[in-house]
Amino acid sequence: RWADLLGSETVDHDKDQYPGHPVKCSPVMVDGVALNGPTVNILDSEDFLQQSMAIILEDAVKKATDVKEKVCEWRPPEELKELLDLELRDEGESESQILQRCRDAIRYSVKTTHPRFFNQLFAGLEPYSLVASCIVEALKPSAYTYEVGPVFTLVEDAVLRKMMELVGWEEGGDGIFNAGGSMSNMYAVNLARYHHCPDIKQLGLSAAPRLVLFTSQECHYSISKAAAFLGIGTKNVYKVPSDESGKMIPSALEELIKKAKSEGAVPFMVNATAGTTVLGAFDPLEEIADICGEHNLWLHVDACWGGAALISKKHKHLLKGIHRANSVAWNPHKMMMACLQCSAFLVRDKTGLLQRCYSASASYLFQQDKFYDISFDTGDKSIQCGRKPDAFKFWLLWKAVGARQLEQRVDRALAMARYLADEIKKREGFRLLMEPEYANVCFWYIPPSLRQLEDGPELWSKLHTVAPVIKERMMKVGSMMVGYQPHSDRANFFRMIVISPQAGKADMDFVLDEIHNLGKDL
């Protein structure tokens, strides 16, 4: 519009939109740009917003959660590039074209909210959390200070307090929401190192001896990434052997600590896992905490996946001893079904250790002479500056359904996993890897052509090729998504993750039937 007006001596204003402004005025020009009024009126986009929201509701909510629809509409990368027309051009497109872009983005995306999506440690649609996400995106807040995020800083504080209560820290603690469980684990490694060697913040690695940390061989790969990123070094991550069920062996931890000390290294931390990524195993936290206490080591518990069991009276025993941890990572976007990302890092310390470790005291954000209680300016505890108020997505969900229904969801998911495991044991051609402890069900499918082979190298070599082919076929059909992987010396097997309350017994049966139908000719 301004291009049409630049030749005029006067500029028209809308009286209602700009009350008190003259109807006509001379254009104010700076560097050839007219500045009299806004060049974008959001109200002009109201129709587009309504149409796009209708598309989201129909295609990304209703259809995406309809069991009769596909989980995915597979296209190879080069073909998908052409379908999406990814090139960015000088001129914008029409609204009708943009609405079609929205439809295409939804159509060719994986529907992780579909009842038959079992591929990751998250699944299902949570409507209350979805609404919270929409509110956050509409308001564009940042959670670093109370002055720009008053509602959301208070919400984050309330959610952290409740999560710490579930962990068992009766006197509270500290914490921060951040961009994922990997980030939480990195926070933990760095905080543990700072606690052991505070001079490192200012003096760097020259202020530290050779530090080593301990974690199980089943731990999440983010621990090694943290060691690499923080300059500790991946060779200083000592991998503790696990038993057949995937749990860390405490006696092996004790031996490795002694070994590290005999080498002249300085142990400073143990990472225990509550709900391993593949097997869903829970490390014995009480015994590990005893060892940490004996050797004065920081105990971090990666409960990103398994933390949800804390809300269940029936299953919280899986994390017995977690209250003795110095820090905990817990992702409500997993079993609790909050919209991604929603990840909390909790610390038992109440002396301001988290603040001292990460504070940079940016004077343009964290002024000490503000007119309100600056204890709610929590951003200086984060390594991020701008930070989304992810806690709101969990808070609104919790307010809507209550702790009782959250507990029922956890109990139902684990019961459903138990049902699936029992069905696997009944069916010819299916073999359970191990009895599930949580919501991870791991199993092999053995096609008819291999069922006469004895256990041995030939069977396992051939079986190793089966799961990848079935996965390819299920993706191209779009009927469901289930993950697979090798593990140690085991051939490729399926890892089924049961979370969504939208999935039922019929869906468990369908998975086994479909795997057989897709792989019976192999």
**The pLDDT of residue 366:** 87
**The pLDDT of residue 24:** 65
Q: What pLDDT tens digit does each residue of the chain (522 aa) get?
A: 444 444 444 445 555 555 555 556 788 889 888 888 787 888 888 999 999 999 999 999 999 999 999 999 999 999 999 999 999 999 999 999 999 999 999 999 999 999 999 999 999 999 999 999 999 999 999 999 999 999 999 999 999 999 999 999 999 999 999 999 999 999 999 999 999 999 999 999 998 999 999 999 999 999 999 999 999 999 999 999 999 999 999 999 999 999 999 999 999 999 999 999 999 999 999 999 999 999 999 999 999 999 999 999 999 999 999 999 999 999 999 999 999 999 999 999 999 999 999 999 988 888 998 899 989 999 899 999 999 999 999 999 999 999 999 999 999 999 999 999 999 999 999 999 999 999 999 999 999 999 999 999 999 999 999 999 999 999 999 999 999 999 999 999 999 999 999 999 999 999 999 999 999 999
Side-chain-facing half-sphere of 266: CA atoms under 13 Å: 10
Identity (one letter) of the amino acid at 281? A
Contact 467, 442 (CB under 8 A): no
Burial of 269 (0-12, 13-18, 19+ CB in 10 A): buried
Domains of the chain with bracketed CATH: 142-388 (3.40.640.10), 402-518 (3.90.1150.170)
pTM, 2 dp? 0.93
Identity (one letter) of the amino acid at 48? F
- The conformation of residue 318, written as its DSSP 8-state character, comes to G
**The pLDDT of residue 32:** 85
**The pLDDT of residue 5:** 42
Contact 338, 129 (CB under 8 A): yes
Tokens at residue 31, please?
């560097």
